[in-house]
Every structure is written in structure tokens, then in C-alpha cells.
Amino acid sequence: QKEVEQNSGPLSVPEGAIASLNCTYSDRGSQSFFWYRQYSGKSPELIMSIYSNGDKEDGRFTAQLNKASQYVSLLIRDSQPSDSATYLCAVTIGPNTGNQFYFGTGTSLTVIP
């Protein structure tokens, strides 16, 4: 299993604050990077993907990638109670014939109203 590390949390932030989630990965051959959100009892759903160094913004979400430091992060601005979930970092490793998605251990986020 390729290593993808996240702080397990729980991370608690007040409503309206910025939530910052971090992820590191061990395989320098990692090619693509994703953040998934998983509500309790549900399957993971993709919220952000990033492929090159720098920032990528989508609404209240910003993903940041630093391949030199093997680090990817997710910022959630103006956090809402509906953002309370487990956030999973994922990376793909492998040849183009079926990229392999490896997940981190997940960070539990609670947004306090």
C-alpha cells in the first residue's frame, strides 16, 4: 500500500472560519491528486482534483499542491455545518492502463454552528 498520510483529527472549526486539511504522500511517481468528502454512511464523493503545482480554486474550496514537498492541502473557506464530514486525500500512481487510486486515512471535520 502506497503511503498517503493525513491527520486523522477530529478537526473542529466554528461556522464561517477557514478549515485547513493537509496530506502528504511518499511516492514521487504520484501523478494526480484528489480530495474526496465522505458523509457518515455514504460513499466518498469527489470535491477537488489537482494535477500541477500551485493553487486551484472551486467555489469555497482551494486545493494546493507542492510536488517538491510531496504535499497537498485543501482549504475550505466560510465553513458551513454541512461541510462536517470525513475528508479523504487520494493520489494516483501507475501506468496509464488503469491508474491506481490510493487514499489517506481521512480527516474528520466538524463545523460548529
Partner 1 sequence: DTAVSQTPKYLVTQMGNDKSIKCEQNLGHDTMYWYKQDSKKFLKIMFSYNNKELIINETVPNRFSPKSPDKAHLNLHINSLELGDSAVYFCASSQVPLKGRSNEKLFFGSGTQLSVL
Binding interface with partner 1 (CB under 8 A):
1, 8, 31-32, 34, 38, 42-46, 49, 51, 86, 88, 90, 92, 94, 96-103, 105-106, 108
Give min distance, CB of 83 to partner 1, in A: 16
Residue type, 89: C
Query: Residue 55 burial by CB count (10 A; 0-12/13-18/19+): exposed, middle or buried?
Result: exposed
Name the residue nearer to partner 1 (CB basis): 71 or 103.
103
Name the residue nearer to partner 1 (CB basis): 95 or 113.
95
Contact 91, 33 (CB under 8 A): yes
User: What are residue 50's phi and psi, to 5 degrees?
Assistant: -145, 140
Per the listing, cell 491528486 goes with 33
Give min distance, CB of 16 to partner 1, in A: 26
Give min distance, CB of 31 to partner 1, in A: 7
